[in-house]
C-alpha cells in the first residue's frame, strides 16, 4: 500500500464523520417543521386572528406582513397564494381600519411606485379588540339594566304601595277597642253597685 493511499482514507473517514454529524440535525429540523403540535399551534393562531380580523384571508395577510414588513400587494399574493385582487381588496380594508400602514416604495426608476404594507404590532391589534369587546359588554350590561327596570316596579310605585303593606297589622284589635270594652265592664259594675245600695235603703225603710 502506497503512502498516497494511506493518506486518502483518513480524509474520507473525516468526511463521513462530518456527514454523520450533520445528518441528525437535518432530521431534527425536518421533524420540527412537520411536527403536528407546531402545525396545530399555527392553526390556532390563524383561527384567533381570523376571529379578530373577521376572515381567514385577512388573517393570512396579517401574518405574512408581520413576517415580511414592507411588502407590496403582489408580494403578499405570491407569499400567501391568494388571488391578487383578493389581496388588494383585503389590504385596502385593513388600511382603512388602521391595522396595516402603507407608504410608497422608493424607486429610482420612472413609473408608478407600488405601496408597501406593514402590519401593526399584535399588542396594538389586541388592544383594539379589547376596547371593542369592552364596548360590547357595556352595551349588554346597559340592556340588562333596562330589562330589569321593565320587570321591576318603579321606586315611586313602591313608595305608594308601602301603606298597603302596613295595613296587614290591622288583624290585631286596636288599643281603642280594648279601652271601650273595659269602660263598658266598669259601667256594668257600677250599675250593679247602685242596685245593691237601693235594696239596702228599702230594707231600712221597712
The helix/strand/coil state of 103 is strand
Residue 84 three-state SS: helix
> Who contacts 99 (Cβ-Cβ below 8 Å, separation ≥6)?
53, 62, 119, 120, 125, 128
| Higher-scoring residue by pLDDT: 46, 9 | 46
Q: Are 95 and 77 in contact (CB under 8 A)?
A: no
Helix (H) or strand (E) holding 104: strand 100-104
pLDDT in tens, 122-150: 888 887 777 777 777 788 888 878 777 77
Helix, strand or coil for residue 4? helix
Q: What is the CA radius of gyration of the chain?
A: 48
pTM higher than the cut 0.85: no
The answer to whether the Cα torsion of 132, 138, 144, 149 is positive or negative is negative
- Residue 182 predicted with pLDDT over 70: no
Cα dihedral 190, 196, 200, 201 sign: positive
pLDDT digits (tens, 9 = 90+) for 58-103: 999 999 999 999 999 999 999 999 999 999 999 999 999 999 999 9
Burial of residue 128, with CB atoms counted within 10 A of its CB: 0-12 exposed, 13-18 middle, 19 or more buried? middle
Q: Is residue 190 predicted with pLDDT exceeding 50?
A: no
Range with lowest mean pLDDT among 45-49, 103-107, 176-180: 176-180
Q: How high does pLDDT run on average in the chain?
A: 69
Q: Is the pLDDT of residue 24 over 70?
A: no
Pairing of strands 100-104, 115-119: antiparallel
Amino acid at each position: 500500500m502506497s503512502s498516497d493511499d494511506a493518506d486518502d482514507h483518513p480524509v474520507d473517514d473525516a468526511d463521513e464523520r462530518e456527514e454523520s454529524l450533520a445528518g441528525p440535525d437535518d432530521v431534527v429540523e425536518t421533524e420540527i417543521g412537520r411536527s403536528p403540535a407546531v402545525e396545530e399551534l399555527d392553526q390556532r393562531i390563524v383561527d384567533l386572528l381570523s376571529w379578530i380580523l373577521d376572515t381567514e384571508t385577512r388573517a393570512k395577510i396579517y401574518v405574512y406582513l408581520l413576517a415580511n414588513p414592507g411588502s407590496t400587494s403582489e408580494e403578499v399574493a405570491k407569499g400567501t397564494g391568494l388571488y391578487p385582487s383578493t389581496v388588494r381588496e383585503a389590504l385596502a380594508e385593513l388600511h382603512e381600519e388602521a391595522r396595516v400602514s402603507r407608504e410608497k416604495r422608493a424607486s429610482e426608476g420612472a413609473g408608478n411606485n407600488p405601496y408597501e404594507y406593514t402590519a401593526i404590532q399584535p399588542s396594538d391589534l389586541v388592544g383594539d379588540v379589547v376596547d371593542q369587546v369592552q364596548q360590547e359588554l357595556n352595551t349588554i350590561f346597559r340592556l340588562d339594566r333596562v330589562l330589569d327596570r321593565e320587570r321591576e316596579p318603579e321606586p315611586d310605585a313602591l313608595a305608594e304601595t308601602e301603606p298597603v303593606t302596613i295595613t296587614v297589622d290591622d288583624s290585631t284589635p286596636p288599643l281603642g277597642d280594648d279601652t271601650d270594652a273595659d269602660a263598658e265592664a266598669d259601667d256594668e259594675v257600677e250599675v250593679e253597685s247602685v242596685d245593691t245600695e237601693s235594696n239596702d235603703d228599702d230594707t231600712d225603710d221597712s
